[in-house]
Structure 1
């Protein structure tokens, strides 16, 4: 992914305390990551950066919709998604992002790229099964229409094996 200046936060010039950032995420953002699971998106990401003397605390929250095909009917619909992520940024000898909740930046670094974290937060909030609200109603109606009401006698007659019916006949012949 090509880093854009929009997602680079220069924390060196910021005062200690909380700072708020807001991003509008659309399909072009996901195209940079070569992610094409949906057609369009309208997602708002709020980021609160809490700068402290020895570390940074990043709190991400997102909400919005993505346009995906329904797994049941294959019709396109807007799926609402939301989620949050907390990230601690500390400083050390070398870069380390092995831990998903802790990022270690080398001493002397003056900015942090948040695009990868926004991408992962959004992608992980998308459910595996995507069913449109209309598909649930259609499915339930189809099941109700397919159910036939049978009399108790019909059910009992269908359940009796013909071999047992012959044996029962012997009992009633006495």
Structure 2
């Protein structure tokens, strides 16, 4: 995978201390990863890099909106997301990213690319079950929701109750409810 240059931080020329980097993430970023779950994206990412003599500390903080389709109705809606993530970059003999929040890079490296970390924290911040806010408060009018209401078990029970039943069973049911 080719690395996007704007997400490469050259830390070799930076002084010890804190450094700020800001990124605006849009659809082009996710197209690069061939991720098509978002209809639209507008996320601001702030990265604070703290350079120390033996390691680097990266603090990712992001906030924004991604437009996704509802899992129930397939209607698009804007999902707000925000999250934070810390990454410690250590120097070692060989590259190792087995740990979630620790990255080991070879001693001779002079830059780090953070595009994969940004991609993963944004994608993982979107709720697993995406439900349109209009579904939750009942304000969304959708053909799919109407069909779901029509086919819901409650409707089926009402239809079954209207059918003629054996009067003997009705008397027995009445005994249960009279208690």
The TM-score normalised by the length of structure 1 is 0.80
Q: Mean alpha-carbon deviation: is it higher for 131-140 or for 121-130?
A: 131-140
- Separation of aligned partners in 2, 1:23 and 1:163: 69
Please give the residue correspondences for 1:7-86 in structure 2 after superposition, counting only pairs within 5 Å. 7-86=7-86
**Contact kept in structure 1, 2:71 and 2:130, CA below 8 Å:** yes
Give, in whole Å, the separation in 1 of the partners of 2:170 and 2:41: 64
- Return 5+ residue gaps in structure 1 as ranges: 148-160, 169-174
Is this contact kept in 1: 2:134–2:140, CA < 8 A?
no
Runs ≥4 residues deviating over 4 A: 139-143
SS at match of 2:86: strand
1:162 equivalent in alignment to 2:165: no
1:105-124 correspondence runs (5 A) = 105-124=105-124
Per-residue deviation, residues 14-73 of structure 1 (Å, max 9, x unmatched): 000000100000011011111111111000000000000000000001110011111222
Question: How many Å apart are 1:4 and its aligned residue?
Answer: 1.8
Please state whether the residue corresponding to 1:12 is helix, strand or coil: coil
**TM superposition shift of 1:140:** 10
Q: CA RMSD in A?
A: 2.8
Q: Whose Rg is larger?
A: 1
User: Offset at 1:162?
Assistant: 2.0
Residues 71 and 164 (structure 1), Cα distance of their counterparts in 2 relative to 1, 3 Å cut: closer
Structure 2 alignment gaps of length 5 or more: 155-166, 175-179
Q: TM-score, normalised by structure 2?
A: 0.78
